[in-house]
Amino acid sequence: MKLPRDLSGAALAQRLSLFGYTITRQTGSHLRLTTSHQGEHHITIPKHDSLRVGTLAAILSDVANHLKLSKDDLASRLFEG
């Protein structure tokens, strides 16, 4: 699946709430998200207007690994429908 090119950090944080991620703190222009779904997991995402594709891919890989999903499956759940 092709990743979106215009997704902001705040929009990604909102979409990740589907998997139990909530914003636990903000330091400068970065958001810290935490979930307790399938064990505790923390990720940090930049709160930029549009995330770089490589940054988005790395975040999705980390989340998919924690949730025991493929990156493509996670992306389709987040960005389709």
Phi and psi at residue 60, in whole multiples of 5°?
A: -65, -35
| Separation between Cα atoms, residue 34 and residue 41, nearest integer Å | 6
**Band (57; pLDDT cuts 50, 70, 90):** very high
Residue 80 has pLDDT above 90, yes or no: no
pLDDT digits (tens, 9 = 90+) for 2-56: 899 999 999 999 999 999 999 999 999 999 999 998 889 999 999 999 999 999 9
Please identify, in words, the CATH class of the domain defined by 9-79. alpha beta
The residue ranges of every structural domain in the chain are 9-79
pLDDT in the model for residue 81: 59
User: What are 14's two structure tokens?
Assistant: 């909102």
Q: Residues 44, 37: contact at Cβ < 8 Å?
A: no
The pTM of the full predicted model, rounded to 2 decimals, is 0.91
